[in-house]
Structures are given as C-alpha cells and as structure tokens.
Amino acid sequence: MAKFNIQQTSVDGIVHDRYQSPVLVGGFHIGGVGGNTAQTGQQIQPMVKIGSNSATTGNIIAQKGSHKFRVTDNANPPNVGKCILANIATPVVANTMSIAVNTAVLTTAAANAYVASGASTSAYVTGFTVAGPVSLAVGQTITGTGATGNVYITAINSASNVTITYTSQTFSNVASGTFNTTVYASKINSKFVWDWGTDGNRNTTTGTNTFYASGYNPNRYRYHLAAPTSIFVQVASA
C-alpha cells in the first residue's frame, strides 16, 4: 500500500507533511495530503457518512487500507469512524465516504434548459473551452451547472456543445460559468488517484444509472489540488 501523507500541526505551530512533494508543476504541488482541513494550506476533503450520522464534508486523519480511511466529520464534537470509499457524490450507506475528482474543467460555459420556464429534465451546455486529461464522454457526471441531484452528459453534440439530463426541476439558465466533469475515487495515495469504471464513466449499457461494482478496471490519474490541466486531474480539497 503506497504511503498517504497526513498533514499535522504540532502544538508549537510547526506544520509537518504539508505537501506530498516540494516539486511544483505549473505553480502547484503534485498530489495531495490528508489532515484536518482547518490547518494551513490545502488538504483533501472527502464527503463522509459516519455511522447513522448525516453525510457531510470531513477530514482524513489516517489511512487504514487501500480503500479505507479513519475520518472525522464537522459535527461539534466531531464524530470519528472508519469509512470505505464509495462511487457516489453524497454517501448514503453507514461508514462510507467519497472523494470527488474533477477530470476536466469547462470554462465560460452557458447552460440553457430545453423549456423556457417551469420544470425541465435536460439542458444544453454550450460555448465552453475544455481543459483536462480526460475527454468529454456520454455518461460522465457534470457539476457546477446549478441543477440538483445527479447530472449526466447524455450527448456530445460538438466540441463545445453537450446535452445534460437531471431529475425534473426548475432549471435556471446560466449565461457563463465554470463546470466540471467529475468521477469519484476508488483508491488514492499522495500522488495518484483511481476511478471506478472500465472507462471512468457511468454504466449506460443497461439504460440505468448504476455504476460498475465488480470486474472494473480503474483508470489511474496523476492529480493536484488545483483546476484540471492537460496532465493533472483535480481532487477535492479545502
């Protein structure tokens, strides 16, 4: 099991293991570390569901296995537990957690629902510029559009035009924004992160929104804690 660094701040204020590496690429450190997100700098921030408590943002305080971490949540006082990584934005099963991984960023994107007003289930996202090591694909989750719940790309219309779908809701058109295509970590160390699928995408062959649960062949990505580039994906941090 590769080492996963945990940032610590000692009682005298000295910070230990703040970075996985002192090396900078494009002005940002390679990889990332765990630790309490109240500390100086950036630490990887998971969503955690500890026991029967509500899912919320949390902190990684120790690695317990390839897919398991000791975590705390942001309750007062915080709950502590061991959680296993799951392929979902907001964990619903006790003692599971998720870490969001942005595989591409769409800048200056506009989003317009198919209907002028009232509830809709799909929209066009247009006019964007894409940066990131993973190409846009049908089945990817897309975040930042303003739509609630799970939002997926269901058609690639051109290099700067995709169709997204979501559960029925009143969608507010976006004149210009920054969106991300997002997967969730199946494994992570201080340098690399792995997704869940054979191609990093949702399993659309059955016409459902289920994910690969077995027999998958995860893709491995180099990451940092800044916006995706042609080399690095972005892991959620605070």
Q: Give one DSSP letter per residue of 12-33, joined into a string.
A: TS-EES--S-S-EETTEESS--
pLDDT of residue 47: 97
pLDDT of residue 232: 97
> Who has greater pLDDT, 202 or 51?
51
Tell me: pLDDT of 23 over 90.
no
Residue from 127, 124, 156 nearest 140 by CA: 156
pLDDT of residue 124: 97
The answer to whether 53 and 75 have CB atoms below 8 angstroms apart is: yes
For residue 167, being part of any structural domain is answered with yes
Tell me: pLDDT of 200 over 70.
no
Residue from 25, 32, 34, 31 nearest 6 by CA: 34
For residue 158, being part of any structural domain is answered with yes
The arithmetic mean of pLDDT across residues 215-226, rounded, is 86
What is the tally of structural domains in the chain?
1
When the pLDDT of each residue in the chain is averaged and rounded to a whole number, the result is 89
Which residue range forms the structural domain that includes residue 112?
A: 102-182
pLDDT of residue 53: 97
pLDDT of residue 211: 47
Picking from 46-60, 131-145, 196-210, which range would have the lowest pLDDT averaged per residue? 196-210
For residue 144, being part of any structural domain is answered with yes
Residue 68 amino acid letter: K
Number of other CB atoms surrounding residue 161 within 10 Å: 14
For residue 153, being part of any structural domain is answered with yes
For residue 159, being part of any structural domain is answered with yes
For residue 210, being part of any structural domain is answered with no
Q: What is the CATH number of the domain that holds 136?
A: 2.40.30
Tens of pLDDT, residues 60-79: 999 998 899 999 998 999 99
The arithmetic mean of pLDDT across residues 230-236, rounded, is 96
For residue 117, being part of any structural domain is answered with yes
pLDDT band for position 113 (50/70/90)? very high
pLDDT of residue 1: 52
Return d(Cα 167, Cα 91) in angstroms, integer: 19
The answer to whether 25 and 224 have CB atoms below 8 angstroms apart is: yes
Tell me: pLDDT of 19 over 90.
no
Return d(Cα 71, Cα 136) in angstroms, integer: 32
pLDDT of residue 216: 63
Return d(Cα 238, Cα 39) in angstroms, integer: 9
The arithmetic mean of pLDDT across residues 7-20, rounded, is 85
pLDDT of residue 22: 77
Residue 112 amino acid letter: N
For residue 113, being part of any structural domain is answered with yes
